[in-house]
Structure 1
């Protein structure tokens, strides 16, 4: 039977970024995948990470910068990026961004391996 997810759980993070998890370990108890709506303010950045999960990101508004060992990818509204498990990446914004992130398996802080 289908399961309705009526509301997300907001995950507290420093730096002003808003994470609303719809599907994942926190909101639905799902370990296989997570789906979250993110709103990152202008000037936001996070530490580099080498996650144990693949992350599929679709930018809805603004521009998301993805720093990696080979350079930087700028992902604009209407574009997507795939970061594969084991790659060292760092997400930043200059003017802010709104995006949806899907992680396989589901995001967990201990799987992100943040610097």
Structure 2
């Protein structure tokens, strides 16, 4: 019942249950949950590989990962 906020090059989109958002390859994307939390599935086509994804160091740290 919560929302997912999708920040991308075109702005920020608030996505609610049953909705979807389409972004383009090469865009910077950041997902966050609204105050109620949310469960979501991100589908990437074509799929990216962990060794080719462009991840900001700050985002990796906030997700509990250790930047390399």
Fold shared per TM-score above 0.5? yes
Bin of the TM-score, shorter chain as denominator length: 0.5 to 0.7
TM-score, length basis structure 1: 0.42
Alignment partner of 2:52: what SS? helix
Determine the C-alpha separation between the residues in 1 that align with 2:52 and 2:15.
24
RMSD of aligned Cα (Å) = 1.6
Moved over 4 A (4+): none
Higher strand share: 1
Deviation at 1:112, TM superposition (A): 2.3
Q: Which runs of 5+ in 1 are unaligned?
A: 1-60
Quick check: which has more Rg, 1 or 2?
1
TM-score, length basis structure 2: 0.65
Determine the C-alpha separation between the residues in 2 that align with 1:111 and 1:105.
12
Q: Which runs of 5+ in 2 are unaligned?
A: 57-68
